[in-house]
Structure 1
């Protein structure tokens, strides 16, 4: 009997709560409460070295944003283009009105969006021109030659959703009018990272990454993955292997960083059977494992970026769920 009474009281209370006097709401008018300012996860950033208050960021699904106040205020500058997925940004530092943007996020999780090539602005982001590489789908790195700014390198990670040949490292020497593919491995291997020696613009190190994604699974690693070095602007490449100190077997994604103050010091986050941080003290010719704990980072397909303090070759940062720092070279 008590249970029945309680049930009746509950039903009565619910029915009473649903009786809403709409007359009391007639005075309320629809109003905007935004904008929310959402752009998605940030995938790329570059700063004007001579005017560090001017910076650009790219978002996974929110286009390119510009700040002239050191990051306090932002405005969108890529709203009229054919895609909002950004993978890379590079500023021509000797003429910061020139900005390159690679479209298509380079972190292939299942919510990845594709791009439609590489864009160039000559007026600080006011207008943009599509400069090709439309079939690369996802561009992860852009490097501008410091001495010859019409020479630009592009690391295209490619789409994880299917095999295709328009991936790898591309180069232009005429400001984007034409492109040459200078490093290619196979239809499933793209550029997971690309760095340049700050003391030698013809020396680049590329982390090539074989990977594929399907709706129900993700495969990271394979025989196509590896670390490659060129000393002549991409004419010739040398692949580094376990004979040079890297792990044996198939590798996955490789994150790279060169110490600006000591370019012979190079770091590599290597996805392998046992993920580890490797360090080279001879510019990438030979390698030594320095750390294989969880402190170096996780989820290589999504994070796997490392940075070196410009003034201290032993202070390195690993960006993942947290920002971890090492003061002793890893």
Structure 2
């Protein structure tokens, strides 16, 4: 029955399309009889206007978080950059949420920054800065002057993946943007961009080569003319990530980002990949660098003379999927020489990188990408993961899941031929394979309780067995495939 319905819809769409072709172009005629240049609709577009989308869920899991910014003037206000779900805002510390960019031409966001001079001024960088095949492409940089209610396109359309935005602490007209640039192709808007007119125009002050962008940027909290940047040379194709190269290194500027010099004394000579960079909020002459080496190895380096020379502290590196997926390095604003390295499970050092231990993450999703602090609460941690947002009020002993932010990234879908209503299955990024009904007899419609987990892990491509809706095929990472009997859950 389901296949017959789909066939009928397909026939209607094709018929509408060919009828429109047979009739030829239509529209108001110009003075010489030509078609007036105006909005035109193809036959298929017209036919699709007869269909309306409806939300069927699920909303019982969240998704990958790129960045979180807390308003320093009101710590109940958070802005969240989602890897595959736009930008969101809460004004009550996560009790309720507002989507900010549903009407914008992008869904992948990588970083969000609150202007330190005006907390209603929000800068949003689109495109996530990791090296996976599953990440979305951004459409440049956007600016809001009303706390995210409306947005203005500020250019850098060919950046595709923006890593970091910093607004001058005393002059909102000055903005620096770290752009990693395209993942799958060379060129684009790649490098360190500076604006002195509030984003009207941009100048690339650190352009390295066609494959190298800027993956991290930090500013001296006591002198805004001093900035540090980490470059990253990489190229993705379908088969592999070509990670690292001669373009990868560390840079310093002492003139507000107008000119840059390499600061690589003491850094390793081998192939450097993604670099996490952090500056001590308590002593800005101290910086930390987590450096990927030869794709799977790595080390943490420290400088105590503003980048004049670097000392190797340990052989610590992010693991799991690979350093290219993590490597964000954050320095604690509450304790000197305490640093956090984002990883499958966060790695913590309290001695400047000499030794690390694994953060306590009981009852919490793995794969961490962002960490945000509150200025006056050393026990508070706000973490962005592959599974959404988590809060800790006791320095990671316990975690509270922000459960009302449905942002799951779905890879592919499948439907079965169950009667009277068919079921839908979706493979997700690190949030299982999920299944649920297309309709329900319940008066209040489809709810979260109607959805269920079919198989754990990264879901990828599900499939169903024609004529037997009790059998579902689901995948997980590393090439695993399972045949699941939905009557008893056996796989």
Alignment of 1:108-119 (within 5 A): 108-119=131-142
Alignment of 1:169-180 (within 5 A): 169-180=192-203
User: Could you tell me which of 61, 71, 80 is aligned with 1:48?
Assistant: 71
The aligned counterpart of 1:255 is: 276
1:250 deviation in Å?
2.9
Distance 2:60 2:236 in 1: 30
Deviation string 1:52-93 (CA, Å, 9 cap, x unpaired) is: 111101111100010111233222111110001001100012
* Pair 1:272-2:317 in alignment: no
SS in 2 for 1:58: strand
Contact 1:39 1:59 in 2 (8 A): no
1:36 deviation in Å?
1.2
Q: Which moved more, 1:37-46 or 1:161-170?
A: 37-46
Are the structure 2 counterparts of residues 327 and 147 from structure 1 closer, same or farther at C-alpha, using a change threshold of 3 Å?
same
Contact 2:174 2:197 in 1 (8 A): yes
* Pair 1:196-2:239 in alignment: no
The aligned counterpart of 1:132 is: 155
* Pair 1:67-2:87 in alignment: no
TM-score (norm 1): 0.86
* Pair 1:324-2:347 in alignment: yes
Distance 1:297 1:277 in 2: 14
Contact 1:119 1:131 in 2 (8 A): yes
Alignment of 1:4-153 (within 5 A): 34=57, 36=59, 40-153=63-176
RMSD: 1.7
Deviation string 1:129-181 (CA, Å, 9 cap, x unpaired) is: 10110011111110111011110000110111011142010011111111100
SS in 2 for 1:261: coil
Which ranges in structure 1 are unaligned for 5 or more consecutive residues?
Answer: 1-30
Are the structure 2 counterparts of residues 314 and 105 from structure 1 closer, same or farther at C-alpha, using a change threshold of 3 Å?
same
Alignment of 1:222-241 (within 5 A): 222-241=245-264
Contact 2:117 2:171 in 1 (8 A): no
Alignment of 1:161-172 (within 5 A): 161-172=184-195
User: Could you tell me which of 307, 315, 324 is aligned with 1:301?
Assistant: 324
The aligned counterpart of 2:241 is: 218
Contact 2:233 2:247 in 1 (8 A): yes
Deviation string 1:239-278 (CA, Å, 9 cap, x unpaired) is: 122xx11101331111100011111110000112441000
The aligned counterpart of 2:429 is: none
Distance 1:66 1:81 in 2: 15
Contact 2:182 2:188 in 1 (8 A): no
1:229 deviation in Å?
0.5
Distance 1:32 1:129 in 2: 28
Distance 1:108 1:293 in 2: 20
TM-score (norm 2): 0.59
Distance 1:261 1:150 in 2: 27
Contact 1:150 1:176 in 2 (8 A): yes
SS in 2 for 1:135: coil
Distance 2:102 2:310 in 1: 44
The aligned counterpart of 1:246 is: 267
Distance 1:38 1:233 in 2: 43
Contact 2:131 2:241 in 1 (8 A): no
Higher relative contact order (CA 8 A, sep 6+): 2
Are the structure 2 counterparts of residues 74 and 282 from structure 1 closer, same or farther at C-alpha, using a change threshold of 3 Å?
same
1:33 deviation in Å?
6.2
Distance 1:37 1:64 in 2: 19
Distance 1:90 1:67 in 2: 15
SS in 2 for 1:301: helix
Distance 1:235 1:81 in 2: 32
